[in-house]
Chains A and B, each alone.
Chain A
Amino acid sequence: MMKSELNPKPSAPAAKFSLRGLAGCAVASMVFASGCVRHDAEFSHRKDYNELMPEAREYVDQTLSKHFGRPTDLVAWEKLPLKLHAATGNVDEGATSTAMPVTFTEENLPVEPGYEVTFLSGKLLQKSEEPVRVEAIGEDNTVSFQSPGLVEAPAAGDRVALGPGQVLKTGRMLYAEHCVHCHGVSGDANGPTAPYLNPRPRDFRRGIFKFTTTQAANRASREDLSRTIDEGIPGTYMPSFKLLTPDENKALVEYVLWLAMRGEVEYQLVIGLKQDYSNEAVADRQKSGESLAEIRNIFLEAANGTELSETFNGTVDSIAERWVAAQEESALIAPTAKRSEATAESIARGRALYLSKDLNCIACHGEAGLGDGPQSYSITKNSAGQDNPEPGLYDEWGNKVIPRNLRTGIYRGGRRPIDLFARLHGGIKGTPMPAFGGKKTDAELWDLVNYIMSVPFETPRPGDGAKEAKPAEAPKQVAASE
């Protein structure tokens, strides 16, 4: 009775209504909180981008979107030196609207029935609205099409792609599955896992990869990236992806290169525009008498005319040239001398080089090779002359670098003698580790390799100094077999 008095009947419908509303709100909240609302992934921008005036930012957006697309709607830009398609080739004589003989110039992935056929030149250049698909490929490389075939027969010499953009697409899907949580959608090393990792994942957007077999001035080769994906990077969170098939590895390499080129293009665009069209530069120009409207007009004229597009094309050409050059055989580090046997004499010569003022290895790696040289805690300015957040060594990405502890026997670029030779010859790109190729002969570098490989087996004794230190005897594990 008491209860019914406290909760009189007329208020019951109101309570029911409130509960229904409450439940509705809760469900809607959960829907939003669980991310049920679809958001497509987007490419991020560099920090510098936010310093540009709005018109310049819009120009960067439009340019990147036009030539690279979005993460789920990619543009396979033919100007980039990449293997974008499953296969490309030139049409031979005797083509009809239902079949064409092709001389393949590039076969990147196995062509499967059902793959699209796109012409990259000639009268059928991106002509068909309904894609024509591969029915089969004969032994004589004659490609037959699924019904109804082409609108007309292609001419001999027309360039054709089978599975257009298929390599990029496969790479993108594999990247989403295996790489994105550390390296980020844009390759900016800002994936959701990245903040918890030390060392940080690689940021591809400068086009710099640390562990390469190319000369110091060159970009990485495809083989370098392929090996890193295959083997991982010892001593870091980068695992081995040996379970990927060779075709998958190849597709992933091309996608990483595509991200690196996109990042470089963005970097060059933003850096170029920042000189005259950053908010700071615009404010300075206003102080010197120009009005904001004038500055905007100048920019829009440049953007709508040929000035910025010519600069952009030149930038892309130079980026592409560097990547093409890195794939040439001449870019590779090729020792001119065979590795010398890891004798006590060779190791002693290597140690002398290690301690020499010329190479100055001890400045970073320390006399005992523990990675505790004086520069590892005393350098106050980075390579650009800016103050370091705290004294020490920093890489191009602004991450603090701890020189390798040579006593652990763990080398991120690989533990084979040739891997260490490549590190000494070409340096570690984007880091303070310099290149000694050209500074010392290859025979001397092999002595240094022999010494470095002997360090984990040395027994350090108190009082061992530069002069008194004696090289360890060559352990069997590292003895050269020639």
Chain B
Amino acid sequence: MRRIQLVLAFTMFAMAAAGCGRGSAPDRAATKVLRADEVKVTIGNPKPAAPAADAKP
């Protein structure tokens, strides 16, 4: 019994170390459908102000 426990513990450790669910296919993290609150967008460096001539009437 002790041996089985050891084997299971080792397997669990190996799976955790290998990042199960990350490197496996299909990659659950990559293929996860995202909710709106799970995607953040921040604004990068702004462009200089557009000339007024570009403005649409």
Interface residues of B, count at CB 8 A? 45
* A21 and B5 alpha carbons, distance in the complex (Å): 7
* A37 and B38 alpha carbons, distance in the complex (Å): 16
Q: Chain B residue with minimal CB distance to A70?
A: B40
Within 8 A of B (CB), among A60-91: 67, 69, 72-79, 89-90
Is the pair B1, A29 in contact by a Cβ cutoff of 8 Å? Answer: no
Is the pair B5, A72 in contact by a Cβ cutoff of 8 Å? Answer: no
Within 8 A of A (CB), among B3-57: 4-5, 8-9, 11-12, 15-16, 19-22, 24-36, 38-50, 52, 54-57
The smallest beta-carbon distance between B22 and chain A, in angstroms, is 4
Is the pair B5, A169 in contact by a Cβ cutoff of 8 Å? Answer: no
Is the pair A104, B49 in contact by a Cβ cutoff of 8 Å? Answer: no
Does A39 belong to the interface (CB within 8 Å)?
yes
Does A126 belong to the interface (CB within 8 Å)?
yes
* A90 and B47 alpha carbons, distance in the complex (Å): 13
The smallest beta-carbon distance between B42 and chain A, in angstroms, is 6
* A28 and B16 alpha carbons, distance in the complex (Å): 10
Give chain B residues whose Cβ lies under 8 Å from the Cβ of A193: 26
Give chain A residues whose Cβ lies under 8 Å from the Cβ of B16: 32, 37
* A173 and B35 alpha carbons, distance in the complex (Å): 7
* A79 and B48 alpha carbons, distance in the complex (Å): 9
Is the pair B29, A173 in contact by a Cβ cutoff of 8 Å? Answer: no
The smallest beta-carbon distance between B2 and chain A, in angstroms, is 7
Is the pair B20, A32 in contact by a Cβ cutoff of 8 Å? Answer: yes
* A contact residues, range: 35 or more
Q: Which of A175-183, A214-222, A366-374, A423-431 contacts B (4 or more CB under 8 A)?
A: A175-183
Quick one: given A90-B52, A180-B31, A192-B27, are A25 and B12 in contact (CB under 8 Å)?
A: yes
Q: Chain A residue with minimal CB distance to B48?
A: A121
Give chain B residues whose Cβ lies under 8 Å from the Cβ of A72: 34, 38-40
Give chain A residues whose Cβ lies under 8 Å from the Cβ of B19: 39
Interface-centre pick from A26, A32, A78, A176 (highest chain B CB count, 10 A): A32
The smallest beta-carbon distance between A440 and chain B, in angstroms, is 40
* A33 and B16 alpha carbons, distance in the complex (Å): 8
Is the pair A176, B27 in contact by a Cβ cutoff of 8 Å? Answer: no
Q: Chain A residue with minimal CB distance to B25?
A: A192
Does A12 belong to the interface (CB within 8 Å)?
no
Give chain B residues whose Cβ lies under 8 Å from the Cβ of A33: 15, 20-21
Is the pair B8, A77 in contact by a Cβ cutoff of 8 Å? Answer: no
Q: Which of A50-58, A156-164, A350-358, A393-401 contacts B (4 or more CB under 8 A)?
A: A156-164
Does A201 belong to the interface (CB within 8 Å)?
no
* A105 and B4 alpha carbons, distance in the complex (Å): 68
Is the pair B1, A15 in contact by a Cβ cutoff of 8 Å? Answer: yes
Cβ proximity bits A199-224 to B, threshold 8 Å, 1 near / 0 not: 00000000000000000000000000
Within 8 A of B (CB), among A286-332: none
Is the pair A29, B52 in contact by a Cβ cutoff of 8 Å? Answer: no
Give chain A residues whose Cβ lies under 8 Å from the Cβ of B24: 35
Q: Chain B residue with minimal CB distance to A102?
A: B55
Is the pair B9, A25 in contact by a Cβ cutoff of 8 Å? Answer: yes
Does A151 belong to the interface (CB within 8 Å)?
no
Is the pair B4, A22 in contact by a Cβ cutoff of 8 Å? Answer: yes
Is the pair A169, B39 in contact by a Cβ cutoff of 8 Å? Answer: yes
Give chain A residues whose Cβ lies under 8 Å from the Cβ of B15: 29, 32-33
Question: Per a CB cutoff under 8 Å, which of B28, B35, B39, B45 touches A35?
Answer: B28
Is the pair B54, A105 in contact by a Cβ cutoff of 8 Å? Answer: yes
Does A449 belong to the interface (CB within 8 Å)?
no
Within 8 A of B (CB), among A1-54: 15, 18, 21-22, 25-26, 28-29, 32-42
Give chain B residues whose Cβ lies under 8 Å from the Cβ of A90: 50, 52, 55
The smallest beta-carbon distance between A196 and chain B, in angstroms, is 10
Does A142 belong to the interface (CB within 8 Å)?
no
Is the pair B44, A78 in contact by a Cβ cutoff of 8 Å? Answer: yes
Within 8 A of B (CB), among A400-455: none
The smallest beta-carbon distance between A94 and chain B, in angstroms, is 16
The smallest beta-carbon distance between B41 and chain A, in angstroms, is 3
* A36 and B44 alpha carbons, distance in the complex (Å): 33
Is the pair A181, B26 in contact by a Cβ cutoff of 8 Å? Answer: yes
Does A185 belong to the interface (CB within 8 Å)?
yes
Does A278 belong to the interface (CB within 8 Å)?
no
Question: Per a CB cutoff under 8 Å, which of B33, B43, B50 touches A177?
Answer: B33
Q: Give me 9 other A-B pairs in contact (C-beta within 8 A), A33-B15, A76-B43 excluded.
A: A22-B4, A32-B16, A33-B20, A78-B44, A79-B45, A104-B56, A177-B33, A181-B31, A185-B30
Q: List 25 A-B contacts (CB under 8 A).
A: A22-B5, A28-B12, A35-B21, A37-B16, A37-B21, A39-B19, A39-B28, A41-B27, A72-B34, A74-B40, A75-B41, A76-B42, A77-B45, A103-B55, A105-B56, A121-B48, A121-B49, A126-B43, A126-B46, A157-B49, A158-B49, A159-B46, A169-B41, A173-B33, A177-B33
In the complex, the 7 A-B pairs of residues with the closest C-beta atoms, listed nearest first:
A35-B21, A165-B41, A77-B44, A192-B26, A25-B8, A18-B1, A121-B49
